[in-house]
Homo-oligomer: A and B are copies of this chain.
């Protein structure tokens, strides 16, 4: 396993670094988060122009045909700069479901405009009580004429309030937690009967509860074969999970750098705080944590790109998420504590990195969830 980036990946990383430096200073981010939309359409278009939105989308539909490893540096940057634009919801989830499971017509319709930055997407999947279980889908789609009618509620869907198109998971057969019988439909946010109820998340990002009240969907809105969507969902959510691990790597690096900088520049009793032995040891420990987390995230991205054995893919992704969730908790708490009280204030970036790390630990399943998945895989 080679953990070093290719030359192409290095060039991309340099371009991303320039973008972040120029366009996503912490002050800019603060303004974006405080704005009514909570994300910037301008920034999104710039990302699209730089090719960052199309990175892991198919080349024939305007993307660059990359994989998770090609998106690693971007995710590190998203984690490092706390970028709130809906890359994960749009590219890693919504468009990815279309790219991997959609019809040619759906791809033609949706993907180029996504890659160009004209539209964003969301994946409306989680429901009350699901606790990260992907097969827990109780919202029903009832056959009706040539299509279906959907009624029910999806919870805390990232970017749902702003997305142009939502991919909605529904149950078309079986019990509420059966593996069989789950279908996906592409639904416009403007569809009659669909309403969104905005939520602010701990990490400053926006989400929304999505209420579907008799929303009609045509047959050709189905993504993939009806009733058989779970493997596709698992595939795409593993892809996004591997990517969020890379985001964690960037956020952890940012937290560690901020803490180290703080300790080196602040003085107590006349000497830099960072000269205290106990603090040095903890910083070194956090640096080791970052190295380990980076290896785990890299392995997870490699697995979602190349591992054909689904069980082995799941095992690698879940093992990475278990350790990375732990690392998120540890690093976030340590960085707050090592800032000596100042980490509580909104004005310090580390306070926001703390929040994002706390959220990443939970997103797509916490350590408990992935330990349970691993235990089930071994059975």
Q: Using CB atoms and an 8 Å cutoff, list the residues of chain A in contact with chain B.
A: 1-3, 126, 128-133, 136, 155-156, 176-177, 199-203, 207, 266-270, 273, 276-278, 280-281, 283-285, 287-288, 291-292, 295-296, 319, 322-323, 329, 333, 336-337, 340-347, 351, 354-355, 358-359, 361-363, 365-369, 371-372, 374-375, 378
Contact = CB atoms under 8 A, between A and B. Distances in A.
B345 A199 contact: yes
Given A129-B273, A202-B351, A337-B361, 12 more contacts: A126-B341, A131-B340, A156-B345, A202-B343, A202-B354, A203-B344, A277-B278, A280-B371, A288-B323, A288-B374, A292-B323, A337-B366
A362 B333 contact: no
Contacts of A292: 292, 296, 323
A340 B132 contact: yes
Contacts of A371: 280-281, 284-285
A203 B355 CA distance: 12
A368 B131 contact: no
A205 to B, nearest CB: 9
A378 B7 CA distance: 28
24 contacts: A1-B2, A126-B341, A130-B340, A176-B270, A201-B346, A202-B343, A202-B344, A203-B344, A277-B278, A278-B368, A280-B372, A281-B372, A283-B375, A284-B374, A291-B319, A292-B323, A337-B361, A337-B368, A340-B369, A341-B363, A341-B366, A343-B362, A344-B358, A354-B358
A368 B201 contact: no
A212 to B, nearest CB: 19
Contact of A336 (B129, B268, B343, B362): B362
Nearest to A130: B268
